[in-house]
């Protein structure tokens, strides 16, 4: 399947690539599932501005989706997906694209049309994106070389990537729980987590759609920077309750290992094959196996999410809606991204943790634990 998130563009937006050459033949592909998968991939990024790179090479009559499917897809990707899409780059376009464009013209708003850029060569992407972070299939690279061979016979120079900088002592994002604990005199709950949770508890519990809304990507970057440099953050300054909410999700998503750990990925995915009446017990067993530090941080977080779900009459965020937002921020596989079929158990597991918080976390008491 050809869609994945890779890197950021020059404005720091998430980039999603879609490669036609990875699409199986139509008769092997359930296009309804494909649509769900695309929505699920985008769901993780639509809250903030994002960019899509579409590699057209490899679309053949065999694996072309029908026009009817494309129309359904365009209609189903409602405003929330289109609004935050800042640019769509179509790489190696062919006549087929031009024909399609004409068919779709009546459906496509002028505003959306302006976001589309056609690029004949991969090197043209360098002006717009962090090219080296892109996930480009080998077939597309070879196709590009062939096209260039016909025209110029020369390839663009290879750009060297500078080595990553070591994290700051005050770093909060992208470093392990252990690192944060060591640098914060043994404090078990990371400061960024404690501050966002206590702020949201005071001011956000009854906000409709809490954790579902986006915040300005620049603001999120600014807040992350303040935290990483160890500077104080006052969320009142931003006049937007969704800023601390997005920061909390971002913190979890940027941990080098998910809070629920890679070891637990397979047991969690297996939750749907457990009989319904035994699932809570199974959740409890899986959680018992977590390292102590992860357990404490998870308990702190889930206690808060349980509290949010208790106010769902106001905030409309039931355990199930919270699980859809948090599932993928708590657990992901050690290689690649979670498959579509794994999404159901991951969300179910998260929903059970939130719904049955009292039962699941009651038996393991931990030293130095902070109750939210």
One-character DSSP codes across 353-365: HHHTHHHHTSS--
Residues 135 and 204 in one domain: no
- What tokens appear for 347 in the block? 């969300």
What b-and-e string marks burial along 119-158, b requiring 16 or more CB atoms within 10 Å of the CB? bebbebbeebbbbeebbbbeebeebbeeebeeeeeeeeee
d(CA 122, CA 178): 41
d(CA 240, CA 71): 36
Looking at the structure of the chain, the number of domains it has is 2
d(CA 217, CA 273): 39
Count Cβ atoms below 10 Å from residue 20 Cβ, excluding itself: 19
- What tokens appear for 85 in the block? 């899409």
Residue 290: per-residue pLDDT: 95
203 domain residue, yes or no: yes
pLDDT in tens, 303-316: 999 999 999 999 99
- Cα 167–Cα 7–Cα 135 angle in degrees, nearest 5: 130
Model's pTM, two decimal places? Answer: 0.60
Residues 128 and 184 in one domain: no
50 domain residue, yes or no: yes
Residue 23: per-residue pLDDT: 65
153 domain residue, yes or no: no
Q: What is the CATH number of the domain that holds 348?
A: 1.10.555.10
Q: How many residues are listed for the chain in this entry?
A: 372
Residues 351 and 264 in one domain: yes
Residue 159: per-residue pLDDT: 46
As a 3-state breakdown, the chain gives helix, strand, coil percent values, each rounded to 5, of 55, 10, 40
d(CA 372, CA 302): 10
Residue 123: per-residue pLDDT: 77
Structural domain ending residue among the three candidates 132, 148, 164: 148
Residues 339 and 301 in one domain: yes
d(CA 46, CA 48): 5
- Cα 17–Cα 249–Cα 172 angle in degrees, nearest 5: 100
Residues 263 and 124 in one domain: no
Residues 134 and 205 in one domain: no
pLDDT in tens, 71-126: 666 666 666 566 677 777 777 777 776 666 666 666 666 677 677 777 778 777 77
366 domain residue, yes or no: no
Residues 237 and 276 in one domain: yes
One-character DSSP codes across 149-172: HHHTS-PPPPPPPPPPPPPPTT--
Question: Dihedrals φ, ψ of 51, to 5°?
Answer: -125, 145
223 domain residue, yes or no: yes
Q: What is the CATH number of the domain that holds 14?
A: 3.40.525.10
Residues 193 and 322 in one domain: yes
Residue carrying structure tokens 């992350």: 224
Residues 6+ apart with CB under 8 A from 171: 179, 180, 183, 228
Residue 235: per-residue pLDDT: 96
Question: Dihedrals φ, ψ of 288, to 5°?
Answer: -60, -30
Residues 140 and 246 in one domain: no
170 domain residue, yes or no: no
- CA-wise closest residue to 216 among 174, 237, 246, 173: 246
d(CA 61, CA 2): 17
Residues 23 and 99 in one domain: yes
250 domain residue, yes or no: yes
Instruction: Specify whether the CB–CB gap between 9 and 53 falls below 8 A.
Output: no
The backbone region for 185, taken as left when phi is positive above 0, alpha when psi lies in -120 to 50, beta otherwise, is: left
Residues 205 and 115 in one domain: no
- CA-wise closest residue to 349 among 238, 235, 269: 269
- What tokens appear for 271 in the block? 């939750």
Structural domain harbouring 78:
5-148
Exposed (0-12), middle (13-18) or buried (19+): which is 365, by Cβ within 10 Å? exposed
Please give the average pLDDT of every successive group of 10 residues along the chain, which has 372 residues: 50 68 62 70 68 73 64 64 73 72 65 75 76 75 77 49 72 92 93 97 94 88 93 95 94 93 94 94 94 96 96 94 91 80 89 96 67 58
Residues 137 and 246 in one domain: no
Residue 13: per-residue pLDDT: 66
Structural domain ending residue among the three candidates 105, 133, 148: 148
- CA-wise closest residue to 46 among 74, 77, 13, 81: 81
- Give the three-state DSSP class for 17: strand
Residue 121: per-residue pLDDT: 80
Residue 124: per-residue pLDDT: 78
Structural domain ending residue among the three candidates 148, 165, 187: 148
119 domain residue, yes or no: yes
């Amino acid at each position: 399947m050809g869609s994945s998130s890779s890197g950021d563009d020059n404005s720091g937006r998430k980039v999603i690539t879609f490669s036609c050459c990875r699409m199986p033949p139509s008769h092997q592909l359930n296009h309804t599932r494909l649509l769900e998968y695309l929505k699920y991939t985008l769901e993780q990024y639509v809250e903030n501005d994002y960019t899509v790179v579409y590699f057209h090479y490899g679309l053949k009559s065999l694996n072309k989706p029908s026009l009817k499917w494309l129309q359904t897809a365009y209609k189903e990707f409602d405003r929330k997906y289109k609004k935050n899409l800042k640019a769509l780059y179509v790489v190696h376009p062919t006549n087929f694209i031009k024909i399609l464009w004409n068919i779709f013209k009546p459906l496509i708003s002028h505003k959306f049309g302006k976001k589309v850029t056609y690029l004949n060569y991969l090197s043209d992407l360098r002006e717009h994106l962090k090219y080296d972070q892109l996930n480009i299939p080998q077939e597309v690279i070879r196709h590009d070389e062939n096209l260039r061979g016909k025209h110029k016979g020369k390839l663009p120079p290879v750009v060297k990537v500078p080595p990553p900088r070591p994290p700051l002592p005050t770093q909060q994002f992208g470093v392990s729980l252990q690192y944060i604990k060591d640098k914060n005199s043994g404090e078990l709950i990371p400061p960024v987590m404690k501050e966002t949770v206590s702020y949201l508890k005071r001011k956000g519990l009854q906000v409709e759609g809490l954790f579902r809304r986006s915040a300005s990507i620049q603001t999120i970057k600014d807040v992350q920077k303040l935290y990483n440099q160890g500077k104080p953050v006052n969320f009142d300054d931003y006049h937007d309750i969704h800023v601390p909410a997005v920061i909390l999700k971002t913190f979890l998503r940027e941990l080098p290992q998910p809070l629920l750990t890679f070891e637990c990925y397979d047991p969690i995915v297996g939750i749907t094959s457990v009989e319904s009446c035994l699932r809570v017990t199974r959740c409890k067993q899986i959680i018992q196996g977590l390292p102590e530090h992860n357990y404490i941080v998870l308990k702190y977080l889930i206690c808060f999410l349980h509290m949010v779900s208790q106010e769902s009459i106001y905030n409309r965020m039931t355990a199930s809606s919270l699980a859809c937002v948090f599932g993928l921020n708590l657990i992901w596989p050690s290689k690649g991204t979670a498959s579509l079929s794994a999404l159901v158990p991951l969300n179910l597991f998260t929903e059970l943790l939130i719904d049955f918080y009292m039962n699941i976390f009651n038996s393991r008491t931990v030293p130095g634990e902070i109750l939210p």
